[in-house]
Structure 1
């Protein structure tokens, strides 16, 4: 008998359902993967916005007279 068949018989109705990461936490493996994907995207967006803000302050701002850097 194959491993998948044995597991299916052993789990019964629970077979194929998302399993929690830890028994005490109501977070499934799929939810944790989605969380990691979301936070990774949010981090890259924050990095890009920070670089854009820095470029604006460092190069564009003084050229437009927003403030002058000390000599």
Structure 2
């Protein structure tokens, strides 16, 4: 008997189901990967917005006469 048949017999109905990240945490591995992708994309968007804000405050604002330093 092959290893996959033995594993299938041992797992029964749970055979082929995706495993949890941790046994006590009801989050599947694919869901964890999706969260990492989403949070990485969100971090890059935040960095881009921070750079855009910096450019406005540092260069565009003083050029338009806004935020004058006395």
Give the TM-score normalised by structure 1.
Answer: 0.83
CA–CA separation in structure 1 for the residues paired with 2:17 and 2:25: 16
Q: Which residue of 2 aligns with 1:47?
A: 47
RMSD between aligned alpha carbons?
Answer: 1.6
CA deviations over 1:37-56 (Å, ceiling 9, x no partner): 11000000000000000001
1:26 match: secondary structure: strand
The aligned residue for residue 64 of structure 2 is 64
Classify the secondary structure of the residue corresponding to 2:25.
coil
- Partner in structure 2 of residue 10 of structure 1: 10
The gaps in structure 1 that reach 5 residues or longer are none
**Which 4+ runs in 1 deviate beyond 6 A?**
none
Could you tell me how far apart the structure 2 residues matched to 1:41 and 1:2 are?
43
| More strand, by proportion | 2
Secondary structure at 1:67's aligned position in 2? coil
Unpaired stretches in structure 2, ≥5 consecutive residues: none
